[in-house]
Structure 1
Amino acid sequence: MVTTERKLILLDFEKPLAELESRIVQIRELADENDVDVSGEIRHLESRAVQLRQEIFSNLSPLQRLQVARHPRRPGTLDYIQAISDEWMELHGDRGGFDDPAMVAGVARFAGRPVVMLGQQKGHDTKDNITRNFGMASPGGYRKALRLMEHADRFGMPILTFIDTPAAWPGLDAEAFGQGEAIAFNLREMFKFEVPIICTVIGEGGSGGALGIGVGDRLLMFEHSVYSVAPPEACAAILWRDAAKAPQAANALKITSTDLKSLGIIDEILPEPIGGAHADPLSAAETLKTCLIKHLDELSRLTIQQRHDLRYQKFRAIGVFTEL
C-alpha cells in the first residue's frame, strides 16, 4: 500500500499525482538544458497538480483515510508537543517499575499556562517503531499516563491527550500485568478529575488503547484521522475470517471524522493541509494549537461541577439510537 519513490513515501492513490509532479520536474529540467521558455505550460501543469491533489484528498474512502492516518511521516505526539508548547519536560515511569516508550507524558507550558500533555507515540521508521512498539502501550504506559494526570489534577493543570494507536498492546505480558484493569482504572479516574481535559485524535485511534487516555470534556479529531472500536483488518478477520474484507469493514465501522461528527462522538474536526498533516506539519500544529486554546478558554470558564456533568453526559449519549 505504501511505495518509496525519490525518497518520498507515497500511498497508492497518490501515484497519479506523483507522476504529474515528476513530469513537471522533467519538463523544467529539459527547458533549462535547452534554454526554452515553457513557463506557461509549467504553470498550467502546476495548477492541474494542485487541483488533482484537492480532488484526491477530498474524496478519500474510509480505508484510504486509514492509510493517511498511518502514514510513516505523519506528525506524532512528540512532534505536536514540541511545536505547540512553550516549554516541555518529559517525565518517565509509572512508579511501579516500568517506563513504556509507547506512551509519552510530561509537563509543559502552553499558551502561558501550565498543563500536562501525554499521548501514544509511534515511530517514523522501522527501528523507531520497534522501540515504540508501534504506539501500542503496555499496562505500564497507561499507569504512567494516570500518574501524570493525577499530578495535573492535584495542582490544577489542564490535561491535553493525543491519541495515536491501533490498539493497546495485546501480548501475553501485557495481559499478565493487567492491561484490561489498567485501562478500566484510567477510564474511571478520568471521569473524576476536576481539571479541564481535551483529547485529540491525531492519527489512528483504535479500541480500548485509545479510550485509555480518551475520556475528556472535548474530543477533537484531525480531518484524516480515524477512530474506531477495532482496526478494520481485525474486524474483517473476526466477522468474515478474511482480512481482505477490510474495505467493507472500514465502511461499516464509521471510522472517519465526518461520520463520527455526525454521530455526536467527536466535538470538532480539525482541517488538515491538502495532502494530509504530513504534507505541512507546522500548519497542522498551528491549527491544533488554535483549537486547543479556544476549547481550553471555554472549559476554564465552567465550574468543576459543570465540567463533570458535561463529561458524564457526553459519554452517556454515545451509542444512543432511535428505532424507526
Structure 2
Amino acid sequence: MTQYLDFEKPLAEIEGKAEELRAMARDNEGMDVEKEAKALDRKAADLLKQLYGSLSPWRKTLVARHPERPHCRDYIEALFGEFTPLAGDRNFADDHAVMGGLARLDGRPVMVIGHEKGNDTKSRIAHNFGMARPEGYRKAIRLMKLADRFDLPVVTLVDTPGAYPGKGAEERGQSEAIARSTEACLDLKVPLISVVIGEGGSGGAVAFATADRVAMLEHSIYSVISPEGCASILWKDPSKTQEAAAALRLTAQNLHELGVCDRIVQEPLGGAHRAPDATIRAVGEAIKELLASFDGVAPEKIMSGRRQKYLDLGKKGLAA
C-alpha cells in the first residue's frame, strides 16, 4: 500500500476511491465500475502531474525522504552482479549503516559503497537509519584504498540524513573519520562516481560524494544541514523549515546550476517510490555512462581533475 505524503492527501482520496470501486466490483459480480474508476484514474494522473510539476524545495525534501524510495541495497541487488560484501574497519567494528564490497556492473569489476537506511522498523534500527558512525567511514576508506590498489572504479550511493551525532561516535573521532574519508576520495587514482539517491546530509554525505562526477536523482537533496537544523539555528523557530529549505538551495536543480551536481537523473512521475524499477535502471545507465567517460584517462589526470573540480567550486555561483 502506497504511503502518501502530506501534500499528496487529495491524490490519496482520488486513488482510494478508484480502488474502493474496483474492490466493490470484485465482491459483486456483474457490477461494472470500470468507466467511473478510469475517470478517477485520469483525474489522479492529472493531479499527480500538477503536484510534481512544481515541487517546492521542502516538498522535494519530503519526497527524498519517502520511506518507499529504493535504497542502497535495492540498487546493489538490481544493478551489480557477483556482489561480495566486505565488512569491518579493521579497528573497532562493522557499521551496518554503510554497506560495500566488490561487484560487477555489466561485467565490469567495481567497488560499490553506500549508505543503507533499511526499509522497515527492524532494519532501520539495525542500519541506524543510514547514519554512519566513525567505523562506517573507516570501512569506506579501507574499501576505497583496496579499490585503488586493484585499479577498480568506485561507485558510491549516498542516502543519509548525516553522520551519527551520538556520544560514542564523537568519542571515537567522528569528525576525523569524515575528514579522512573525504581525503581518501580526493586521493583515489581511479574514477569515483557518486549518486545521491535520497538525502545527502552534511559531511556524512560529502565523505562519500567528493567524486569525479556527482549525479543526483531529480527529487533528491544535498545540503550542509537539514532544513530543520537550519531553521533551529538561524531562526530558532521550527515553523521556518520551509523557508530554510528554500534558502539552502538543496535541490538537484539548484546544485546543478551551482556546479555541485554534474548530472540529474530523471525520476518517474510521482517520484522514485512509484516506479522503483524504472528509477534503478535510469541510475544504472547514468553510472555506466559516467564511468565510460573516464575510459583511457590516465590516473594522474583523474586525480588532478577531481582536485581542480573542488577547488573551482563556488566560482560558478559567484558569477551567477
TM norm. shorter chain > 0.5? yes
Structure 1 Cα separation of the partners of residues 3 and 319 of structure 2: 45
Give 2:73's aligned amino acid. L
- 1:53 and 2:48 aligned: yes
Structure 1 Cα separation of the partners of residues 319 and 77 of structure 2: 47
- 1:263 and 2:246 aligned: no
Deviation at 1:101, TM superposition (A): 0.6
Pairing of 1:27-176 with structure 2 (within 5 A): 27-30=21-24, 33=28, 35-176=30-171
What corresponds to 1:322 in structure 2? 318
Pairing of 1:202-221 with structure 2 (within 5 A): 202-221=197-216
Deviation at 1:244, TM superposition (A): 2.0
Structure 1 Cα separation of the partners of residues 284 and 318 of structure 2: 36
Are the equivalent residues in 2 in contact too, given 1:87–1:110 (CA < 8 A)?
no
Structure 1 gap ranges (5+): 1-6
Are the equivalent residues in 1 in contact too, given 2:144–2:184 (CA < 8 A)?
no
Identity %: 44
Structure 2 Cα separation of the partners of residues 188 and 261 of structure 1: 23
Runs of 4+ in 1 over 6 A off after TM superposition: none
What corresponds to 1:190 in structure 2? 185
1:110-152 CA deviation, whole Å, 9 max, x = no partner?
A: 1111100011110212222221111110110000001011000
Deviation at 1:247, TM superposition (A): 0.6
What corresponds to 1:15 in structure 2? 9
Could you tell me the TM-score, scaled by structure 2's length? 0.95
1:295-320 CA deviation, whole Å, 9 max, x = no partner?
A: 11111232223212321121112223
Structure 2 gap ranges (5+): none
Structure 2 Cα separation of the partners of residues 126 and 253 of structure 1: 30
Structure 1 Cα separation of the partners of residues 31 and 184 of structure 2: 68
Could you tell me the TM-score, scaled by structure 1's length? 0.94
Structure 2 Cα separation of the partners of residues 213 and 28 of structure 1: 46
Structure 2 Cα separation of the partners of residues 285 and 15 of structure 1: 26
1:188-238 CA deviation, whole Å, 9 max, x = no partner?
A: 222111111001100000110001111111000001110000001011111
User: Secondary structure of the residue that 2:318 maps to in structure 1?
Assistant: coil
User: Secondary structure of the residue that 1:188 maps to in structure 2?
Assistant: helix
Structure 2 Cα separation of the partners of residues 277 and 217 of structure 1: 25
Q: Which range moves more in the overlay, 42-51 or 179-188?
A: 42-51
- 1:289 and 2:312 aligned: no
What corresponds to 2:300 in structure 1? 305
Give 1:322's aligned amino acid. L
User: Secondary structure of the residue that 2:196 maps to in structure 1?
Assistant: strand
What corresponds to 2:272 in structure 1? 277
User: Secondary structure of the residue that 1:220 maps to in structure 2?
Assistant: strand
What corresponds to 1:24 in structure 2? 18
1:67-113 CA deviation, whole Å, 9 max, x = no partner?
A: 11111111111110111012111110000021101111111011111
The alignment's C-alpha RMSD in Å is 1.6
Deviation at 1:323, TM superposition (A): 7.1
